[in-house]
Amino acid sequence: MNDKPRVLLVGAGAVGQVFGTYLRAAGCELSFLVKEKYAEEARRGYTLYALEKRQRAPEPLFLSGFDILVSAPEAARRRFDQVWLCVSSTALRAGDWVEQLARHTGEATWVMLQPALDDRDFLLRFIPPERLVSGMIPFLSFHAPLRPEDTFPPSGTAFWFPPLARGLFSGPPERLGAVLRTLRAGGYPASATGDATRAAAIPTAVLTVTVAGLEAAGWRFERFLQPDSLERVHRAAREAVRIVARHTGARASFVPPLLRPALFKALLPLASRVVPIDLETYLRVHFTKVGDQGRAILRTYIALGRSAGLPVRYLQEFQS
């Protein structure tokens, strides 16, 4: 790989911009692949804010000077060392762009960040396993302001890393090593793990069910924390964790005791105090935006559970 890796980021939303900022800090030559309707905005560059404490105005970070592509065939005119997939699980399957891009990016390492259990298998139809690195997203990111009346964070893309958060990645050693070195050179907290997909599977299951319960409660913490709501989430989360553990081989024996309603009730107010933004608003805005992805993940859990003869009754209650 070159001293200055050539990186193509697919998607210039909040996630793509954050990774782009760290990759640029590492000295990478950046290009973004975006839809035509977003190209002009992308060419103007982006302003980002790394959040630390609530109401403390962060210094702006400017991301610009990158190339913009609007179609997969354009990638054939360049050579890329890495291709980062910064789009949702459902966007992967929208059209045939993944297949096209795979044909036009040579021997580049592909880095996937998607959370669905079947995303890796989907990508392996087009990218050989020796070129695919799997990762997970440990930060919150969003387009600010969350509400028109908000003055914090300032207008732009805001992001926040929870304390001690690490971005876990796995993959073929040589490819993985190059990705980790690049990220760390830019100041990103990256670590290797044996299987990032497996490591993220149970946390994703719990989060997906929790978000489904919050949506059913009208995105209001007060309603979500009512006993009947928490009990539904508790039962559905137990089903999801059992299904995911069966499918991935992840250890889950320690998880059921942590899913008790009392713990949800204690942790949500604590999280609201730690996160430097209005957490209730963030969850509503963000997970409404990626709602199709969450519903697809739930459908996958239900399908896997049925095929394995495992209970899915409470998961089904969250299908809309």
Look at residue 2 in the predicted model and tell me its pLDDT. Answer: 55
pLDDT > 70: what percent of the chain?
98
Tell me, yes or no, whether 35 lies in a domain.
Answer: yes
* pLDDT tens figures, 23-44: 999 999 999 999 999 999 999 9
Look at residue 166 in the predicted model and tell me its pLDDT. Answer: 95
Asked if 171 and 250 sit in the same domain, the reply is no
Q: What is the mean pLDDT of residues 105-112?
A: 97
Last residue of a domain, one of 147, 171, 194: 194
Q: What is the mean pLDDT of residues 9-25?
A: 98
Q: What is the mean pLDDT of residues 180-198?
A: 97
Contacts of 164 (CB under 8 A, 6+ apart): none
Among 256, 247, 243, which residue's Cα sits nearest to residue 310? Answer: 243
Asked if 157 and 226 sit in the same domain, the reply is no
Look at residue 300 in the predicted model and tell me its pLDDT. Answer: 97
Last residue of a domain, one of 139, 164, 194: 194
Asked if 46 and 64 sit in the same domain, the reply is yes
User: What whole-number distance in Å separates Cα of residue 86 and Cα of residue 89?
Assistant: 10
The phi and psi torsions of 205 (rounded to 5 degrees) equal -60, -45
Can you give the pTM of this predicted structure?
0.95
Q: What is the mean pLDDT of residues 107-133?
A: 97
> pLDDT at residue 182 above 80?
yes
Asked if 158 and 291 sit in the same domain, the reply is no
- No. of helices (H) and no. of strands (E), the chain: 13, 12
Q: How many whole angstroms from its chain centre is CA 198?
A: 15
Asked if 26 and 113 sit in the same domain, the reply is yes
- The residue with greater pLDDT, 251 or 64, is 64
Asked if 151 and 208 sit in the same domain, the reply is no
Output DSSP code: residue 318. Answer: T
Look at residue 1 in the predicted model and tell me its pLDDT. Answer: 46
Asked if 97 and 66 sit in the same domain, the reply is yes
Last residue of a domain, one of 177, 194, 211: 194
Residue 9 · residue 30 · CB < 8 Å: yes
Reported as a pLDDT band with limits 50, 70 and 90, residue 254 is: confident
Q: What is the mean pLDDT of residues 187-201?
A: 96
Residue 170, domain extent: 6-194
Give start and end residues of each alpha helix (H) in the chain: 14-25, 36-43, 89-92, 97-104, 119-123, 173-185, 196-216, 221-224, 227-248, 261-274, 279-289, 291-308, 313-316
Tell me, yes or no, whether 212 lies in a domain.
Answer: yes
Residue 136 · residue 191 · CB < 8 Å: no
> pLDDT at residue 238 above 60?
yes
Contacts of 136 (CB under 8 A, 6+ apart): 113, 115, 167, 168, 169, 196, 199, 200
Reported as a pLDDT band with limits 50, 70 and 90, residue 188 is: very high
> pLDDT at residue 258 above 80?
no
Tell me, yes or no, whether 224 lies in a domain.
Answer: yes
Asked if 139 and 287 sit in the same domain, the reply is no
> pLDDT at residue 255 above 80?
no
Tell me, yes or no, whether 1 lies in a domain.
Answer: no
- For 182, the token pair is 């690049």
Residue 189 · residue 165 · CB < 8 Å: yes
Look at residue 137 in the predicted model and tell me its pLDDT. Answer: 97
CATH number at residue 176: 3.40.50.720
Tell me, yes or no, whether 33 lies in a domain.
Answer: yes
Asked if 102 and 20 sit in the same domain, the reply is yes
Output the average pLDDT for the chain.
94
Contacts of 131 (CB under 8 A, 6+ apart): 107, 108, 109, 110, 172, 175
Cα distance from N-terminal residue to C-terminal residue, the chain: 46
Look at residue 320 in the predicted model and tell me its pLDDT. Answer: 64
Asked if 36 and 183 sit in the same domain, the reply is yes
The phi and psi torsions of 294 (rounded to 5 degrees) equal -60, -40
Q: Please count the structural domains in the chain.
A: 2
